[in-house]
Structure 1
Amino acid sequence: MNKIKTESKIGKINRTFIKDEAYNLLSQKIIRGDLRPCQRLRVKELSDELGISRTPVREALLQLESEGLVLTKANRWTIVAPINPKEALNIYPIIYSLEELALEEAFDKIGPKEISKLREINDRIKYLHDKSDQLGIIKKDNEFHNYITNLSGNEEIGPILQKLKRRVERMELYFFENSESNFTTYIEHLKIIESLEEGKLEKSKKALVRNWTSTIETIINLSKEINIEDNEISN
């Protein structure tokens, strides 16, 4: 029997890696506010800054556009998407509904070891809050929720949540860093943990949902206090 030789497409794989790296770098700059809402994005300038060709930059921008972090008007401009607090009313309910499902599926797997891990993550959140490290808080908050989601064993939920949370992470960082509003994540997580320790699923789910709805309320309230100029495209 003749063996069919297959060729290794090293070039294509390398190009994919470059696109992914460009995507990661640009998304981080957008989320952290280094690239401001409504700032114009020029492919040539970005490719020069990143030291790569224009093709992976274009591919990265297309992916960011599909996630709602970039807006494009054909043959005219590409900009960082404006901060839109109303998105919270659409995105967060999807997030907490999926996390409710994950909690249901993970509930029987949560014992003393898992509770201890959740407490460890939450204690770190309190430490970061005392240090006013908002980005660190958001990342640990995601770790807390992702830990429960991963315990569910449902491999479909995580990727969906990751994409949605990437969009709201920018919003959370923007509003909480521009306000002295009390960040209640630590206390709300404690209520989730205590409900899990009591072995009460419905109470745990309610505490989980309350954690997210509290964030929605804070963002909407802060949006009324902070002036967001989202109608002008930066040069």
Structure 2
Amino acid sequence: MNPLPKVDRPLLRDEAYERIRQAIINGTLPAGTALRDAFLARELGLSRAPVRQALLRLAGDGLVDSKPQSYTRVAEFVDDDVRDAVQLVRALHEFAVRQALPRLGPAHVAEMRAANERFAAAIGSSDVAAAMAADDELHDVPVRVCGNRAVATTIDRHTPLLRRLEHARFISLPAHRSVQRHNELIDAIADGDAERAAAVTSTIWSDLENLLETP
């Protein structure tokens, strides 16, 4: 019998991907920054192989620009790309809410309310990282409950472009309105009103798209 394959390299690749992705999202690695695998490997305490794999994946996500034998750098912020991502993510979240609603019970509603409380507290203290994490946790509930892995995977792939926008324009976020929108969504789910929940979900992501018009 052949031995089981080692799993350390994929795990290191995934860890490198998450670390570099977060640094791009929060602006630690600004647009245009050259991404040298040797430097990143030293910073992360990894070998160059998982870093290279992570950069290839990030290029597929639209967060990294790469030209063989020429450059690898953090992608510039392109409004049209972000707008495309917002529109796709909005449609998928609407779908997830509709599909999940019959299975969303009191425990899920309580989970979403707790996430929104954390979101409001983070907004109040201008903690953008905590706000984004709480927002992700809130919207992840119907995505998780709907059980469609393709939806979850696609949202996960495109959401970083949106989070990058929010980090860059945090001061322009309609923060208190977002807290209220979340409450409206949670109330609609608690009432079992799929149409209202989908409509509020659409509005939440449309509000984010409006940030593209903010200097």
Query: Is structure 2 residue 5 aligned with structure 1 residue 9?
Result: yes
Amino acid at match of 1:6: N
Change (3 A) 1:180 1:106: closer
Query: Is structure 2 residue 145 aligned with structure 1 residue 159?
Result: no
1:174-193 → structure 2 map (5 Å cutoff): 174-176=168-170, 179-183=171-175, 184-193=177-186
Partner Cα separation in structure 1 for residue 5 and residue 148 of structure 2: 33
Change (3 A) 1:43 1:185: same
TM-score by length of 2: 0.92
Residue by residue, what CA displacement relative to the aligned partner does 1:40-76 show, whole Å, maximum 9, x if unpaired? 1112222232333222221111111111110012211
Structure number having the greater helix percentage: 2
C-alpha deviation, 1:181, in angstroms: 4.6
C-alpha deviation, 1:122, in angstroms: 1.0
Runs of 4+ in structure 1 deviating by more than 6 angstroms, as ranges, are none
Gaps of 5+ in 1: 226-235
Partner Cα separation in structure 2 for residue 170 and residue 132 of structure 1: 16
C-alpha deviation, 1:180, in angstroms: 4.9
Partner Cα separation in structure 2 for residue 204 and residue 91 of structure 1: 21
Higher Rg: 1
Q: Could you tell me whether the CA contact under 8 Å between 2:115 and 2:137 is conserved in 1?
A: yes
Find the residue that maps to 2:169 and give its secondary structure.
helix
Partner Cα separation in structure 1 for residue 5 and residue 149 of structure 2: 29
Find the residue that maps to 1:156 and give its secondary structure.
helix
TM-score by length of 1: 0.85
**Structure-2 residue corresponding to 1:88:** 82
Query: Is structure 2 residue 201 aligned with structure 1 residue 205?
Result: no
Change (3 A) 1:67 1:197: same
1:33-72 → structure 2 map (5 Å cutoff): 33-72=27-66
Change (3 A) 1:204 1:77: same
Change (3 A) 1:51 1:125: closer
Q: Could you tell me whether the CA contact under 8 Å between 1:23 and 1:64 is conserved in 2?
A: yes
Partner Cα separation in structure 2 for residue 141 and residue 96 of structure 1: 14
C-alpha deviation, 1:89, in angstroms: 1.7
Gaps of 5+ in 2: none
Partner Cα separation in structure 2 for residue 82 and residue 162 of structure 1: 20
C-alpha deviation, 1:17, in angstroms: 2.2
**Structure-2 residue corresponding to 1:228:** none
Partner Cα separation in structure 2 for residue 19 and residue 153 of structure 1: 26
1:69-80 → structure 2 map (5 Å cutoff): 69-80=63-74
**Structure-1 residue corresponding to 2:99:** 105
1:23-38 → structure 2 map (5 Å cutoff): 23-38=17-32
Partner Cα separation in structure 2 for residue 56 and residue 83 of structure 1: 25
Change (3 A) 1:43 1:147: same
